[in-house]
Amino acid sequence: MFDKLDDLLIKYDELTMNLNDPQVINDNQRFRKMMKEQSDLTPIVETYKAYKESRQAIEYSLAILEEESDEEMKELAKEELNSAKADVERLEGELKILLLPKDPNDDKNVIVEIRAGAGGDEAALFAAEIYRMYVHYAESQNWKVETLEVEEIGIGGMKSVNFMITGKGAYSKMKYESGVHRVQRVPETESGGRIHTSTITVAVMPEAEEVDVQIDEKDIRIDVMRASGNGGQCVNTTDSAVRLTHFPTGIVIYSQTEKSQLQNKAKAFALLRAKLYDIELQKQQDAESAERRSQIGTGDRSEKIRTYNFPQGRVTDHRIGLTLYKLDKIMNGDIQEIIDACIAADQAKKLSRMNEEG
């Protein structure tokens, strides 16, 4: 591990030197690439430097204890030694995590698809609440949310909604939300007062660039039409809505959220690229071993990951056995504690596997 860290330290210094080279500065593409590499290495380098300083502090404290006769100095050296040893242990753990293979999609924006499952109108109402939960969470992260496609029902629910979240590291956090979310409560539409169980599915897909997914024009049919609204909503009088049909997969995407046909077309293609890229990612994961597939964040989309129990005010994440009694805050977007716990559990699994393999 430390040989690798020393190599990374040399690489970091070389990058820093090259970034001051006028030839590199004048080559925008090369400069951006090197800046990204340096930025990715910075947390590892800073942690490793702190680790080396703590190791030196241990050696210095041991030398004082061996040579010094003054009891007060010895006592101070002992305190310094214990503190440095604790730092070394902590920093070594951090370095192991920083050296774990990084998901290449972690820095990407995401497209999230929420669909109402079992439970009829109640599932659609819950889908709309989960959508709002993610919007609030995105706002807390200073991310931007843009609706791509939505199918609403008259009472404020959503049969389905697709939206893009744009922001640094969006996929690295949001990927843990993929799966089946279950709600247990007395529905607003139910007069009998009985607790019902409804479900929705959430799919989190990394945004795909054109270079990530090649779409053959022969595989696509593009239809344009007038946007339709419900409940007295203002309806466009121009053919601005766009429907894409992808023949090889049967995926159909309808986009009408913008007044411009070009904007709706761009949104439809962004959603299609993300879905096709996601299919390829799922194929890759299915081809990997069951143990590797079981890691949190790349699990089966049909897996029940979380239950929101309204009568008891609790939320349980079944993958990591975490239960929190702050449902109101969570529904208002306060999901960072759950995501942090998922990240920690995922890292622990990867570290365990790395130790077994190495």
Burial 107-129 (b: 16+ CB within 10 A, else e): ebbbbbbbbbbebebbbbbbbbb
pLDDT band at 121 (very low <50, low <70, confident <90, very high): confident
- Indicate the number of domains in the chain: 2
pLDDT tens digits, residue range 306-356?
999 999 999 999 999 999 999 999 999 999 999 999 999 988 888 877 776
Domain residues for 41? 2-98
3-state secondary structure of 313: coil
Distance CA 342, CA 299 (A): 12
Among 82-96, 228-242, 261-275, name the one with the lowest average pLDDT: 228-242
Are the C-beta atoms of residues 115 and 121 closer than 8 Å to each other?
A: no
- pLDDT for position 231: 38
**Do residue 88 and residue 125 come from a single domain?**
no
**Do residue 69 and residue 202 come from a single domain?**
no
CATH for 281: 3.30.70.1660
pLDDT tens digits, residue range 135-175?
999 999 999 999 888 888 878 889 999 999 999 889 999 99
pLDDT tens digits, residue range 280-304?
887 777 666 554 455 555 555 667 8
- pLDDT for position 171: 93
pTM of the model: 0.75
Q: Which of 35, 65, 98 is the last residue of a domain?
A: 98
The answer to whether residue 104 is domain-embedded is no
**Do residue 141 and residue 77 come from a single domain?**
no
Higher pLDDT, 221 or 351: 221
- pLDDT for position 238: 63
3-state secondary structure of 292: helix
Q: Residue 98: name the closest of 140, 138, 51 by CA.
A: 51
**Do residue 94 and residue 115 come from a single domain?**
no
Cα distances (angstroms) measured from residue 139 to each of 126, 166, 329: 20, 11, 14
**Do residue 290 and residue 312 come from a single domain?**
yes
The answer to whether residue 115 is domain-embedded is yes
